[in-house]
Amino acid sequence: MTSPKPSKPSKSTASKPPQQVTSAREPLRTTPTHPLLGAHQSVAGGLSRAVERAVETGCRCLQIFTRNVNRWDAAPITAADAAAFRAAVSAAGLACVVVHDSYLINPGSADETLREKSIAGLVLELERAEQLAIPWVVAHPGAAGIQPRDTAVERAADGIATALSRSSALAAGILVETTAGQGSCLGHSFEEIAAILARIDAAGHGSRVGVCLDTCHVFAAGYPLFPAADLDATIASFDRLIGLDRLKVIHANDSKKPRGSRVDRHAAIGEGEIGSAAFALFINHPRLAGIPLILETPKEGADGKVDPAEDRRNLATLHGMVTANAARA
Ligand SMILES: [Zn+2]
Ligand SMILES: [Zn+2]
């Protein structure tokens, strides 16, 4: 991810409607239960800046990269920076913070050097998360390349299990993310995710591994999210194969590409192929109640620059879809 500079607040607010001001007596959300909504935020300017960005945009949950995700090496997190981050999270009252791992990591790789680097990379991600009191590292399961998929699935699972074994003193664990299945990427089917988890469970690390479901990815991989009966079937399939108890975080992203395209392109909520009607069902689904939802939607405004208004807009869209029916959950 690039490191966008925080955009300057606009001097003139004349063209914008006044922001809703909320007080303790007048809560923004009036539904009895409401989802835990948040977004990925940049750590440009320091780890604690991500928490400030979360607060600025009204996030209750946060995902960060703790390092440059396109490099193997990472400067250590100083004790002072870690303490400042933990204090900022607690002061902001964030309900859930997760890390997303480096894009270079591929524990399923056929290349032994790359696989070993990937396992060490996962251990480093877990250590950094632990330092920041973050419980989960969201990780893509990797890509098969020229290997048969079954072989790559086993290698990916064993690689993740090795990383968990080498970091057995830590509490932080790994959430295997469902993928769109672009190219030879693993994890596009619930069966593959289940196979990965089963091997990690068998290796004795089940308590430190769960799943992150990405709405854009599962849709691009071919799973229907609409109408209600199809969404129910998708969720039931996840539960039967993986178990909803393993689902710890959801990435809420619309998809620029059609269902089954196996192309991973995120869109703003309601502005992609998944659409508002599907998200309205999804966010209120009783079987998904209480699971944090984190946006990874485009942050660029009309001028192409990062604009916190985009996160606010997507969060408002999701909040607007929450119905009192969700209280049944
Ligand atoms: Zn994602
Ligand atoms: Zn994606």
Q: What is the pLDDT of residues 293-311, one digit of tens each?
A: 999 999 999 899 999 999 9
What pLDDT is stored for residue 324 in this prediction?
Answer: 59
Q: For residue 323, what pLDDT band results from cuts at 50, 70 and 90?
A: confident
User: Mean pLDDT lowest for which of 3-7, 87-91, 242-246, 288-292?
Assistant: 3-7
Whether omega before 227 lies within 30 degrees of 0, making that bond cis, reads yes
Q: Please, what is the average pLDDT of the chain?
A: 90
Nearest to 217 by CA among 176, 263, 280, 172: 263
Examine the pLDDT at 52 and tell me if it is beyond 80.
yes
Q: b/e string for 183-218 if b means 16 or more Cβ within 10 A?
A: eebbbbbbebbbbbbebbeebebbebbbbbbbbbbb
The token pair that represents 28 in the structure block: 């923004």
Question: How much distance in Å is there from the Cα of 222 to the middle of ligand 2?
Answer: 14
The residue ranges of every structural domain in the chain are: 43-328
Q: For residue 42, what pLDDT band results from cuts at 50, 70 and 90?
A: very high
First-to-last alpha carbon distance for the chain, in angstroms, is 36
pLDDT digits (tens, 9 = 90+) for 263-275: 999 999 999 999 9
Residues, CB within 5 angstroms of ligand 2 (ion): 264
- Which ligand has its closest atom nearest to the C-alpha of 294? 1
| CB-facing half-sphere around the CA of 324: CA atoms within 13 A | 1
Question: How much distance in Å is there from the Cα of 41 to the middle of ligand 2?
Answer: 15
Residues, CB within 5 angstroms of ligand 1 (ion): 214, 251
Range 141-146 average pLDDT: 96
CATH 3.20.20.150 for domain 43-328, yes or no, is yes
Question: How much distance in Å is there from the Cα of 30 to the middle of ligand 2?
Answer: 31
Query: pTM of the predicted model, to two decimals?
Result: 0.89
pLDDT digits (tens, 9 = 90+) for 156-190: 999 999 999 999 999 999 999 999 999 999 999 99
Q: For residue 242, what pLDDT band results from cuts at 50, 70 and 90?
A: very high
What pLDDT is stored for residue 22 in this prediction?
Answer: 38
Provide the H-helix boundaries in the chain: 47-57, 79-92, 112-131, 149-166, 190-202, 215-220, 228-241, 276-283, 308-321
Nearest to 156 by CA among 218, 203, 97: 203
- Which ligand has its closest atom nearest to the C-alpha of 211? 1
Question: How much distance in Å is there from the Cα of 255 to the middle of ligand 2?
Answer: 9
